[in-house]
Structure 1
Amino acid sequence: MQPQFQMTGQASREVSLQQNKVLRNTFMLLALTMVPTILGALAGVQMQFSFMAGSPMMSFVLFLGIAFGFMWGIERTKNSGMGVVLLLGFTFFMGLMLSRILQVALGFSNGASLIAMAAGGTGVIFFSLATVATVTKKDFSFLGKFLFVGMIVVLLAAVANIFFQIPALSVTISAVAVMVFSAYILYDISRIVNGGEDNYISATLAVYLDIYNVFVSLLNLLMIFSGERD
């Protein structure tokens, strides 16, 4: 019986080491993705980048096509260095797309502080929920179905609001998005900690999208409630 217990304990330690390795690599790559995101955002702001601004619906569809193309490529190459290259290219693209809302924010007299507040709030949400997931090691996989439904509802409402442009709906979408994608941070980090995700490139992509959407939604809310025109 003792050799069996020893083998079981060794296997458990190996699994734990692997999970810690995936988590560590995910956090390191996540930090790296912020570099092309910032560079893309700065380039977009400087160029006053506008992604088919005259046709919001076509812009949205094209954005989804490019984004899903990148994500498909990342998943296909997630076990090689090309996965990292595609991920960094994707985050640069997302930085370019982010530049549009940053340009709008900078149109307010307190735009820079709004952006800083949104970034700070996103950081607090991420580190708080990541700490909960890593310290408690609780399995939050039960949230998956609910969060997926919430994400689809947010996406459909965002598409509808392209046509209707209802301010109250915009506020609701942003508020719900903050809650849904904050919960996704908890869910995705928990999956890594508990062995549900064993590839750090896929894990980084998931957590990056969570953080990105929380930041955009927070910035939207701050502009609506705290934006000051000159």
Structure 2
Amino acid sequence: MAEYNTMRAQTISTTRAAQIDAGLRAHMNKVYGTMSVGMLITAAAAWAIAGLTTTTDPSAAVAQLGNGTMLNQFGATIYLSPLRWVIMFAPLAFILFGWGALMRRASAAGVQLGFFVFATAIGLSLSSIFLVFTSVSIVQTFLVTAIAFAGLSLYGYTTKKDLSGMGTFLIMGVIGLIVAMIINIFLQSPAMMFAISAIGILIFAGLTAFYTQTIKSEYVAHAAAGDQDWLDKAAVDGALSLYISFLNMFQFLLMFLGQQE
């Protein structure tokens, strides 16, 4: 009888482990799927807005960039007026002050909608890259980023090493990076921008692996509770973390690989 109970317990344990593994795969697919949709929204919004801000008619231009790109009134308002500071810092303010409240109070559908709105806002702030860098270099940099991201995320998913200590250090590095970037807005130092880009690539490369491991660990820890609403919101939260890492790696790599118009 004791042997039967032991075998039964082992069977239940094996079955439960298989269920968690299947659930984890579905959860990670949702994370990557949500992130991918967010990236598509960002790219589409950035491309569309960039197209709406330029003109080829000199009589309709109200300003001109250093590379000769002519801006219409809409473009001048977005890129040259004080509104550009709002566009630049609004997504950061949302992450710092709005996302946590949304996670606590909104439904899973509401959280997902919030993420897609955030992705659209990021598209607005990123639209200027289509006016500065060539389309070919943007696509090439995106592909390089995608390959690097896939490798780093796979490492974070499969490694047995605990990355939590590294994650804490890297998040502190992000704070320092933001401060340095704000300072360089006023200094406009090319050397400082080069250093920020190099350090930024390393920081967000590490965070990609860290966030992937965290998403996996949190799912395994909470799967037994069966709180589907929490798991759905956690998938969107994980997608946001990976989205931000991907986006920052892309921007910093563009500083190195991008060819200007």
4+ residue segments displaced more than 6 Å: none
Does structure 1 residue 221 correspond to structure 2 residue 240? Answer: no
Does structure 1 residue 132 correspond to structure 2 residue 159? Answer: no
Give, in angstroms, the shift of residue 59 of structure 1. Answer: 5.6
Query: Distance in 2 between the 1:51 and 1:209 partners?
Result: 23
- Distance of aligned partners of 1:145 and 1:134 in 2 relative to their CA distance in 1, 3 Å threshold: closer
The within-5 A match list for 1:141-220 is 141-195=164-218, 198=231, 199-220=234-255
Give, in angstroms, the shift of residue 131 of structure 1. Answer: 2.3
Give, in angstroms, the shift of residue 102 of structure 1. Answer: 2.8
- Return the match for 2:80 from 53, 58, 72: 53
Which amino acid letter does the alignment assign opposite residue 129 of structure 1? Answer: L
Instruction: State the aligned residue count.
Output: 221
Residue in 1 aligned with 2:128? 100
Residue in 1 aligned with 2:69? none
Which amino acid letter does the alignment assign opposite residue 204 of structure 1? Answer: A
Query: Distance in 1 between the 2:88 and 2:184 partners?
Result: 12
Query: Distance in 1 between the 2:170 and 2:132 partners?
Result: 29
Q: Is the 8 A contact 1:181 1:210 kept in 2?
A: yes
C-alpha RMSD over aligned residues: 2.5
- Distance of aligned partners of 1:127 and 1:39 in 2 relative to their CA distance in 1, 3 Å threshold: same
Query: Distance in 2 between the 1:77 and 1:125 partners?
Result: 35
Q: Aligned residues: percent identity?
A: 21
Choose 40-49 or 128-137, whichever is displaced more. 128-137
- Distance of aligned partners of 1:182 and 1:22 in 2 relative to their CA distance in 1, 3 Å threshold: same
Query: Distance in 1 between the 2:241 and 2:106 partners?
Result: 13
Query: Distance in 1 between the 2:161 and 2:219 partners?
Result: 12
Q: Which runs of 5+ in 1 are unaligned?
A: 106-110
Deviations 1:169-199 (A, max 9, x none): 0001011111111111111112223336852
Q: Is the 8 A contact 1:44 1:99 kept in 2?
A: yes
- Return the match for 1:82 from 105, 110, 114: 110
The within-5 A match list for 1:56-75 is 60-68=88-96, 71-72=99-100, 74-75=102-103
SS at match of 1:195: helix
Larger radius of gyration: 2
Does structure 1 residue 115 correspond to structure 2 residue 138? Answer: yes
Does structure 1 residue 23 correspond to structure 2 residue 23? Answer: no
Residue in 2 aligned with 1:108? none
Query: Distance in 2 between the 1:165 and 1:183 partners?
Result: 27
Q: Is the 8 A contact 1:36 1:89 kept in 2?
A: no
TM-score by length of 2: 0.74
TM-score by length of 1: 0.83
Q: Which runs of 5+ in 2 are unaligned?
A: 1-5, 54-74, 221-230
- Distance of aligned partners of 1:100 and 1:132 in 2 relative to their CA distance in 1, 3 Å threshold: same
